[in-house]
Amino acid sequence: MPRLPRRTVDANKGAFGRVLLIGGSRGMAGAAGLAGLATLRSGAGLVRLAVADCCLDTVAGFEPSFMTAPLPNDDAGRIAGSARWQLAELTKSASATVVACGPGLSRSPDLDALVAWLYTTLAQPAVFDADALNALAAQPDVLRHAAGPRILTPHPGEFARLVGASRIDSREIQEREAVELAAKIGAVIVLKGHRTLVTDGQRSAHNTTGNPGMATGGSGDVLTGITAALLGQGLPPFDAARLAVYVHGLAGDLAAAELGQVSLIASDLIGFLPAAFQKVTTSPGTC
């Protein structure tokens, strides 16, 4: 299992990554809030959430440690296309060392264009999840033109859309196509599900943690935050993705042991992240 770099005694918050999370819309503010909380609990030094203005107060209320940036929204409460100019400033490498896009994003033609612009222009590592993946699936030629390291974290339905299929019933076929897609586009793909597959097209690994209680809304947003935080702390994309899914599943296992699988919700995963990180940092062969 990958290891996090040891923290030096004179470290400052800038040493652990400045993460920008882009998402949030009317009715889905919680997804952005969960991703932000997970990013903080996973060790990121600074976390800024750039969200539709209409849900900024809701997102900011999740955690006083967040920095927030309001983006113009359309009449439906989604980030508007005109937000590109603000995002051009927010995504400068001096402001954000890692970007994550997707939690609570929603869909629109403007957002499809915005996601494509982010994917093809950001030089820093970036995580794409949820509706950001659906935006990429709508314009598959974009996938070959990443401007920097990319991690895509689809569930099976999102993955089917990425490869242009209505559905893929066989997990074996899904995994084979995930390896092929990762190799073709030069990205790391996290194919979520039982024994989540992480692949960069050359290397592949199956995760061994997690349980069915984690099949609940918001769980993927938490994984996005963990992954972004680990990228911010200097792990290469493949290693960051492997460790993220392991810790995510371990937090779920710890939560289920105390709360049961039936009652487990996504915010419980965040509550158990400190214990999960303590376990992996004190176990041989992990952090």
Q: Which string of DSSP letters, residue by residue, matches 116-182?
A: HHHHHH--S-EEE-THHHHHHHTSGGGGG--SS-EEE---HHHHHHHTT-S----HHHHHHHHHHHH
**pLDDT, tens digit (0-9, with 9 covering 90-100), for 172-209:** 999 999 999 999 999 999 999 999 999 999 999 999 99
pLDDT at res. 283: 62
Percent of the chain with pLDDT over 70: 98
How far is the C-alpha of 252 from the C-alpha of 161, rounded, in Å?
27
Here the tokens at position 271 are: 């509550």
Which one-letter amino acid corresponds to residue 284? P
Measured CA to CA, the distance from residue 47 to residue 99 in angstroms comes to: 10
Q: pLDDT tens across 122-154, in order?
A: 999 999 999 999 999 999 999 999 999 999 999
The whole-number pLDDT of residue 286 equals 47
Q: Is pLDDT above 90 for 231?
A: yes
Domains of the chain: 16-274 (3.40.1190.20)
